[in-house]
Amino acid sequence: MSVEALRMTVQDALDSELRPLVQFHGGDVRVADVTPGGLVRLEYSGACRGCNLQVVTHFVTVRQRLLKIEGVTDVKAEGVEISDSARQRIERTLAGSHPAINLAQVP
């Protein structure tokens, strides 16, 4: 997939699934860049800038959804960072392998 096609696919997912959720809380998110290697760089604005839950929104919702797109290898946003171990815990939890929380079993 070309970089432009990947950018359009990412933009479609943002527009149809993710931006409405973020905009509901007064924020916004846009694609800042997509590299040939599949790295998607996002920019959060509005209420998202400085929000204490921005990290959760990014790593639990936005990043996980965009990583499902073929060709996307990583999703980053300036100023939105967590440790590798925290990111791995989130990924395990969302994959249903966390011993205490299995989201696959939540009704």
Assess if residue 105 is contained within a domain.
Answer: no
The whole-angstrom separation of Cα 4 and Cα 36 is 9
Assess if residue 56 is contained within a domain.
Answer: yes
| 4-25 as b/e: b if 16+ CB within 10 A | eebeebbeebbeeebbeebeee
SS3 34: strand
Both tokens assigned to 4: 């432009």
**Of 59, 48, 65, the residue nearest 11 (C-alpha):** 65
Assess if residue 88 is contained within a domain.
Answer: yes
Predicted TM-score (pTM) above 0.85: no
The whole-angstrom separation of Cα 15 and Cα 11 is 6
Assess if residue 42 is contained within a domain.
Answer: yes
Higher pLDDT, 66 or 105: 66
Higher pLDDT, 38 or 84: 38
Strand partners, 93: none
The whole-angstrom separation of Cα 98 and Cα 95 is 8
The domain of 85 spans 3-99
Q: How many structural domains does the chain have?
A: 1
Percentage of the chain with pLDDT > 90? Answer: 53
- The whole-number pLDDT of residue 93 equals 81
Q: Are 80 and 54 in contact (CB under 8 A)?
A: yes
Domain at 64, CATH number: 3.30.300.130
